[in-house]
Structure 1
Amino acid sequence: MRPIRLLVPANIRHNSGGNVYNARLVQALRALGVYVGVLAVEGSWPESTAKERRRLGSLMGAWEPKGHHGSVVTLVDGLIAMGAPDELEFAAKARQETWVLVHMPAPSRHELEARALRAASGVICTSSWASTTLEARHGLSGLRVALPGTDPAPVAQGSIPPHIITVAALLPNKDQLLAVEALARIQELDWTASLVGSDQADPEYAAIVRAAVAAHGLENRVRLAGELKGRALEDEWNRADLSVLASQAEAFGMVVTESLAHGIPVVVRQGTGAVEALSFAAPEAEPGKRAGAHLPGTAVTFPSDADPKNPALLAGVLQRWLQDGATRDAWRAAALETRNRLPGWEQTAAHVLDILGG
């Protein structure tokens, strides 16, 4: 396989799903014997200066004689690509092989995104949801999908009272505020909770979440743990009985499969790519059982005519899980069975190699 150059945004420093995917993909590709060079590209991507875009163009070989870069395959993170369609178009004219790796379709700047994807030699999406969204949005075809892998993990022991965990940087899209408001509605029940994730990605939103915890008198029950790694993060997973990912938009939600790897069921938002993560390795329902009966958790549906931030809907799901032992047992059993079906990063890397080689 030819050497691969991976261009990643230098401005995303918190522990995002895209960063984790990029890092684990590189490790797995190198383990397969592929040379992978990783370059962090300066810029406030997708925003950037003309100087930063020129440097990006140079890294892609956009200004070189046609085919001069020919022995290298360049893989550009989608956050960078949608901010530099001109440079991708120049790279295409120079006959450079430049692929775009899309973690999340752009919430705006759709025309720039379309130009960048059309100029690329190919597009790899990290979820089927992202691929379907982009194909419908831009009339594209032939987009490829390489789902994230999952690292094996020990089974969580759980806690008494039950412990609920949300693992994501504190950002408006991740909607930790919704989780706090939902928990505030079930204070009569026994539970504790942790919000694990960077409070520096959006300090203003983090302050709003922290204020909501205080306003509801939940300081002794809801812990804002900050971004954790290594042993500290594993200790949080080990305490957990349920994982909640209430993101308003999610391409896949790698934290869902990370939860399942620990045998922890998950609550996600219906209509997001996190539903794919919850169900793609789930055990099949027995004949005669309703669809979704064997899911290791559930997806909360927010009706189109309801306030999408209505915490009562999420509170109802959490209340049922806390009070209904049969539901808790069924979700836990499905999560334990699912953890043995999760693909590893070596499978992701091998699939990316097949895509690029093809």
Structure 2
Amino acid sequence: MRHIRLLVPGNIRHSSGGNVYNARLVAGLRELGAAVDVISVEGDWPHAGATERRRLGTFLEASEPGGGPGQAVAIVDGLVAVGAPAELEAAARAGQETWVLVHMPVPESSGESSLADEARALSAVAGVICTSAWAASVLTERGLPQAHVALPGVDPAAQAGGSTPPHLAVVAALLPNKDQMLAVEALALVQDLPWTASLVGSDRADPDYAREVRAAITENSLQERVRFTGELAGEALEAEWARTDLSLLVSRQEAFGMAVTESLARGIPVLVREGTGAEEALGLAGLTAADGGPRLPGAALPLPEGGQESPRLLAGVLRHWLQDPDMRESWRAAALEARTRLPDWGITARGVLALLAEQD
């Protein structure tokens, strides 16, 4: 059984999908008997300074390479890896087996330098594990010879009862990429219908953006209908899910979107942005319609960035869902069926161990 060192970024302290995945992967690996050390690497990753990069190099060197079958292996979170290509190259030259766990490929908008660092880092290591097929396809299109996939699991959860009037939830840290502003703009266009909504997530990850979202809610007179909950966990989060009838994850970029499968685990349908990894998560259960095509427990919407087209499109779908009982029932039935067909975290951990075993 491998001795695994998982190196994670110390600067992501809100409940991100990457943090949750890392924690659940570690728990799953330990349940399977693997010895796992979690090392939090401080620094402003992926833009850490020289001191933090040297410290990362020290952590990699401490993994005691060269021990043959069963030797220690380092798995580096992708956010750290793309900020330290030279350190990963040095570890490879020293014979250290290192893998990178990619939660989100570097965005194209990051520029040529960042994309080049990503390519260097991923080329230097023994293997690359992606948390979605979407992410793996992005990397292979950029020239990476091979990217393995270990999809997130999901924990069983109680079926949501919903609310009257219908309650909508956006479960994500308040960040520009998560595009809560789009959700607010769309909700402002359906004020004539009964509903309530919650924005569930940290407002400290990007305080300026959080203030912009709050201002938009005030400007559209939605203060009595849209509630900020902050980051929730445990019973408080379960209570929020229990009252939810529809969730939204309309991120501009999303490698997978574990909030989607967490929603489906409770029988709650989801609206996502087409073309992102959230669409993969929505179709994970593999439901089939009567005509043989995919049957989604919700919908994936084409939502271009900028302008008023996307708020109007999203508002139109919300209006239809709010006014059409048959549509609500159809989406709900699909979500309830998907609920029984989602993978658990044990599958994720076994998949990762199998990949590492191939290198022995």
TM-score where L is the length of structure 1: 0.95
Answering whether residue 314 of structure 2 is matched by residue 302 of structure 1, we say: no
Aligned length: 352
Q: Which of 30-39 and 65-74 deviates more?
A: 65-74
Q: CA deviation at 1:65?
A: 8.8
Matches within 5 A, 1:150-229: 150-229=154-233
- The code of the aligned residue for 2:349 comes to A
Structure-2 residue corresponding to 1:340: 340
Q: Which of 316-325 and 245-254 deviates more?
A: 316-325
Structure-2 residue corresponding to 1:10: 10
- The code of the aligned residue for 1:173 comes to N
Structure-2 residue corresponding to 1:328: 328
Matches within 5 A, 1:1-358: 1-61=1-61, 67=66, 71-107=71-107, 108=110, 109-137=114-142, 139-286=143-290, 288=291, 291-292=293-294, 294-302=295-303, 307=307, 310-358=310-358
Q: Unpaired segments of 5 or more residues in structure 2?
A: none
1:67-96 Cα shifts (integer Å, max 9, x gaps):
369820100000000000000000010110
| CA–CA distance in structure 1, aligned partners of residues 80 and 308 of structure 2 | 30
> Does structure 2 retain, via aligned residues, the 8 Å contact 1:178–1:309?
no
1:103-128 Cα shifts (integer Å, max 9, x gaps):
00012210000000000110000000
> Does structure 2 retain, via aligned residues, the 8 Å contact 1:65–1:94?
no
> Does structure 1 retain, via aligned residues, the 8 Å contact 2:65–2:97?
no
Aligned-partner SS, 1:60: helix
Percentage of matched positions with identical amino acids: 62
| CA–CA distance in structure 2, aligned partners of residues 246 and 130 of structure 1 | 17
Aligned-partner SS, 2:187: helix
Q: Decide whether aligned partners of structure 1 residues 262 and 300 sit closer, same or farther in structure 2, where only a CA change above 3 A counts.
A: same
Q: CA deviation at 1:50?
A: 1.1
- The code of the aligned residue for 2:220 comes to H
| CA–CA distance in structure 1, aligned partners of residues 265 and 309 of structure 2 | 29
Q: Decide whether aligned partners of structure 1 residues 44 and 303 sit closer, same or farther in structure 2, where only a CA change above 3 A counts.
A: closer
> Does structure 2 retain, via aligned residues, the 8 Å contact 1:282–1:296?
no
Q: Decide whether aligned partners of structure 1 residues 114 and 41 sit closer, same or farther in structure 2, where only a CA change above 3 A counts.
A: same
| CA–CA distance in structure 2, aligned partners of residues 66 and 329 of structure 1 | 56
1:25-77 Cα shifts (integer Å, max 9, x gaps):
00011111111000000100001111111110111118x99736982010000
Q: CA deviation at 1:313?
A: 1.0
1:204-241 Cα shifts (integer Å, max 9, x gaps):
00000001111111111000110001111000000000
| CA–CA distance in structure 1, aligned partners of residues 351 and 64 of structure 2 | 31
TM-score where L is the length of structure 2: 0.95
Q: Which of 166-175 and 277-286 deviates more?
A: 277-286
| CA–CA distance in structure 2, aligned partners of residues 66 and 321 of structure 1 | 57
Q: CA deviation at 1:307?
A: 3.8
- The code of the aligned residue for 2:166 comes to P
| CA–CA distance in structure 2, aligned partners of residues 239 and 214 of structure 1 | 24
- The code of the aligned residue for 2:24 comes to R
1:136-189 Cα shifts (integer Å, max 9, x gaps):
12x112210000000000000000000000000000000000000000000000
Aligned-partner SS, 1:310: helix
- The code of the aligned residue for 1:114 comes to A
Aligned-partner SS, 2:61: coil
| CA–CA distance in structure 2, aligned partners of residues 47 and 95 of structure 1 | 26
